[in-house]
Amino acid sequence: MTKADWSPTSDASGPALLDVYRRLRGECPVAYSDDFGGFWAVFGYDDIVAVAKDTKTFRSDQPFVERRSSPELIPLSLNDERHLYFRKLLAPYFTPARMKALEPRIRAMIAEHLAPLERGESDFYPDVAYPLPARVLAAFLNVSDDESAAFKELTDLADAASGGSAEAQQASADAFMAKGLELVATRRRVPHDPAVDLLARLVAEGFDDETVAKIGWQLISAGHSTTTRSLTYAAHYLATHPDDQDALRVEPERIPTAVEELLRTGTALHQIGRTAARDVELGGCPVAGGDFVGLVFASGNYDEEQFPHADQVDLARRPNRHLAFGVGAHICIGAPLARLELRLVIEELLARTERFELAGEPMPVSGMKTGYVRLPLRATPAGAE
C-alpha cells in the first residue's frame, strides 16, 4: 500500500492549492494521493511535459482523474492513429480564418453582457463569464442561441458530478449524450453546409449518431466551464491591478501577450489524467500498469525553473510556454476559441470603461480549479464626465 503524500480534496482548495504545489515541487515532485480512487500527481514542468509526450506509456483513455467513469470522449479519450485521425478532421474548424469569422458575432455578445457593468456595477460571473462561453459554443456549432441555456445546464451538472458518485457521473454522461443525439438528429433532418458546420461534416463523413454526439459532447464540456473560470480570473486580476489596466488601454496591441500570462497564472483546470500502460518508474516512484497519473498543469505553470519569478504576473512575459491548454499530442484543440474569447472580453472591457474595480468580496471556485463564482465589479464607463 502506497502512503498518501497529499489530499487535494482536504489539504487546500482553489488559490490555496498553489502553495501546496510549491511545497510538493520541492519535497515530493511525484506524489501519491488516495483521493478519487488513488492517483499519482506530477508537479514539475519538465516531468509533466515528458509524461504528456510519452503517449505509449501514458494513455489518455480516462482523461479526468476526478471522473473515472466518464465514457469515451472523442478525441480526448483516444490514442495513437485513431486520435490523430479525429484531430485532423476537427482542426479545419479552429483555424485563424474561422476564428476571425466568429469575431464580430462574439463582440456583439460581449457588448450585450457588459451593459450592466457600463451602467455602474455588475457581478461579472453571472452577467458575463458564465453565459458568454455557452453562447459562443452555440455560435461555433452553428446552432440556435437558445441552445446555450442547455449547454450551461449540462456543464453545471458535470461540474457538480465531478469527484462524486458513479451514479451522478453517469447521470451527467447520459444528459450530455441525449443533447448530442438531439443535435445530430437535427443535422440529419435539415441539411447544413459541411464546409462551415462541424456537425454536418461529421454526419456527411458517415459517422454513426453516437460518435458525432460524443464529439459534440466533448466540445461543449471542454469549452464552457474552463473558459468561464479563465474569464473570471482575468477580470479579477485586472480589477485589482489598475496600473496594468491603464497600460493595456494605452497599448491594446499588448493584450494577446497578456492573455497568455493570465492563462499561465490562472490555469482553469489544474490537472488532466493519464493511465500508465505498463509498470514504470516516475520521479523515483514505482507506478504500476493501470495506475492513474495526474498531470498538474497548474503546478507546472508556476515552476521557477521554467518561468523566472513565476509567482509574479508579468503581462509582457516572453517566451511563455505555459501548460494551460496542455502539451503534446493531446493539447486542447479548442484553444484558439478560448484565446479569442479572452482577448475580445479584455479588449471590450477596457475599451468600454475608464476604470473598473472590485465592488465586494469575490468568491473563489473550489477544488482543483482557478477562477471565481462571484465577482462583483464597479466601473467608470468610458467617456464619463
* Plot region of 280 (φ>0 → left; ψ -120 to 50 → alpha; else → beta): beta
Whole-model pTM: value is 0.95
pLDDT digits (tens, 9 = 90+) for 29-52: 999 999 989 999 999 999 999 999
Tell me what pLDDT residue 216 has: 87
* Plot region of 79 (φ>0 → left; ψ -120 to 50 → alpha; else → beta): beta
Q: Domain coordinates of the chain in residue numbers? A: 14-381
C-alpha cell read off for 109: 455578445
Are the CB atoms for 259 and 371 separated by under 8 Å?
no
Tell me what pLDDT residue 206 has: 93
Are the CB atoms for 329 and 84 separated by under 8 Å?
yes
3-state class (DSSP) for residue 282: strand
Are the CB atoms for 244 and 255 separated by under 8 Å?
no
Torsion sign, CA atoms 9, 12, 14, 19: negative
Are the CB atoms for 109 and 102 separated by under 8 Å?
no
Are the CB atoms for 285 and 32 separated by under 8 Å?
yes
Query: What's the one-letter identity of residue 63?
Result: P
- Full pLDDT tens readout for the chain, 385 residues: 466 899 998 877 778 899 999 999 999 999 999 998 999 999 999 999 999 999 999 999 888 888 765 567 899 999 999 999 999 999 999 999 999 999 999 999 999 999 999 999 999 999 999 999 999 999 999 988 988 888 888 888 877 766 667 787 778 788 888 888 999 999 999 889 999 999 999 999 999 999 999 898 888 888 888 999 999 999 999 999 999 999 999 999 999 999 999 999 999 999 999 999 999 999 999 999 999 999 999 999 999 999 999 999 999 999 999 999 999 999 999 999 999 999 999 999 999 999 999 999 999 998 889 999 999 999 999 876 5
Instruction: Please give the CATH superfamily to which domain 14-381 belongs.
Output: Cytochrome P450 (1.10.630.10)
Are the CB atoms for 7 and 28 separated by under 8 Å?
no
91 vs 154: CA distance, rounded Å: 25
Query: What's the one-letter identity of residue 98?
Result: R
